[in-house]
Structure 1
Amino acid sequence: MRIVVRAAGMAALIGLAACAGNSKDADLAERAQTQLVGLPKAALLSCAGVPSRQAVVNGAEYYTYSARPVVDTDSTGIAGIPGTGVGLSGGTADGIGLSLGIGGPLAASRTPQGCDATFVLRGGTVQQVSYPMGASIADCGALVSNCMAR
């Protein structure tokens, strides 16, 4: 029984470590919303590249960058989730046995959403960085990371 408890504890620690990576990306994306304000247009294009979409409305330029993660799926179209299993089995010489098994994913899974980051420029400088309502902000970190490294 101790083996089962220890394995469950290790699986929980691995799950927390996976969440820590997402927290770093979310923090980066949140900081970008203030730290990239004032960035010149030429610098934005240099660090972020060509936007996926752009528009001009009432003198403001809107540059939208998109990132969609590639999801590895099996033949059923279901995303693969790494998992682990722990089993315990025992019995007596008379053939009476007892089995206990626990299985599940190593970390909680979610379907990656991707992100759209929109930069609003006026007068040739970034005035605002926004992400869609309800988006996973952690997925937006990759879009702003090159510009934040400046």
Structure 2
Amino acid sequence: MTSRPARRLLAVASLGLAGALAGCANPAVDEALVAQTALIGLPKETLLSCAGVPERRAAVDNREFFTYRSSRLVSYPSPPPLGYYGGWGWPHYGYGYGWPAYGYEVNSFDCEATFSLRNGVVERVVYGGASGGSARLGQCYAIVQNCMALIPQRTIRPSP
């Protein structure tokens, strides 16, 4: 049986964890997921005006496939290793002779969005790419964001 202070501490820790996880939410990921359904029915002309010219294009019977690609590299210096460094002469801590070289960490984010059109209207939006999960979806938003700005905001009305 746990004590009352222990249960209170557990409850506070659980709320803190839930708040921290909610703070990590990426609105671009949410919008990219919404776009997969919101852009269905978009005319071909509107797609071309908001997303631009596709990188690849294919046509089969009365279907067209437009593929757009978006990628970005994010680099930042890797943290320097901490510890004892020595060179010629006195050993020392910190910056100076004997300081080891360190580099940069690079993250790559990419997305391919393929729009399937039938009779000149968007029928389906599929995302792919080498990045996985939310990293890819966040980058997919860069492709669809101009088109999403054309979609009227939906309001949810309570049922009577």
Q: Report the TM-score when normalising by structure 2.
A: 0.56
CA pair 124-112 structure 1, distance change in 2 beyond 3 A: same
Judged with a 3 Å threshold, the aligned counterparts in structure 2 of structure 1 residues 113 and 142 are, in CA distance, closer, same or farther, namely same
Partner of 2:142: 142
CA distance in 2, matches of 1:110, 1:17: 26
The letter of the residue matching 1:40 is P
What amino acid is aligned across from residue 113 of structure 2 in structure 1? Answer: A
Residue 35 of structure 2 corresponds to residue 39 of structure 1 = no
Q: Which ranges of structure 1 fall in alignment gaps of 5 or more residues?
A: 1-14, 72-78, 85-108
Indicate conservation of the 8 Å contact 2:76/2:106, yes or no.
no
Which of 46, 52, 67 lines up with 2:55 in the alignment?
Answer: 52
SS at match of 1:37: coil
* Separation in structure 2 between the aligned mates of residue 47 and residue 147 of structure 1, nearest angstrom: 5
Matched, 1:28 2:24: no
Q: Residues 43 and 122 of structure 2 are in contact (CA less than 8 Å); yes or no, is this contact kept in structure 1?
A: yes
Return structure 1 stretches of 4+ with deviation > 3 angstroms. Answer: 15-20, 81-84
Structure 1 residues 18, 125: CA separation in 2 closer, same or farther (over 3 Å shift)? same
Shift of 1:81: 4.2
1:118 aligns to what SS in structure 2?
Answer: strand
Q: Over alpha carbons, which structure has the higher Rg?
A: 2
Counterpart code for 2:57: Q
CA RMSD of aligned residues (A): 3.1
Work out which structure has the larger RCO, using CA pairs closer than 8 Å and 6 or more positions apart in sequence: 1
Deviation at 1:137, TM superposition (A): 1.1
Correspondence for 2:120: 124
Counterpart residue identity of residue 66, structure 2: Y
Distance of 1:128 and 1:62 partners within structure 2: 10
- Give me the whole-angstrom Cα distance separating, in 1, the residues matched to 2:47 and 2:71: 20
* Secondary structure of the corresponding residue to residue 128 of structure 2: coil
Q: Distance in 1 between matches of 2:23 and 2:57?
A: 34
Mark the CA change 1:36 to 1:110 in structure 2 (over 3 Å): closer, same or farther: farther
- The answer on whether the counterparts of 1:112 and 1:139 sit within 8 Å (CA) in structure 2 is no
| 2:111 paired with 1:115 | yes
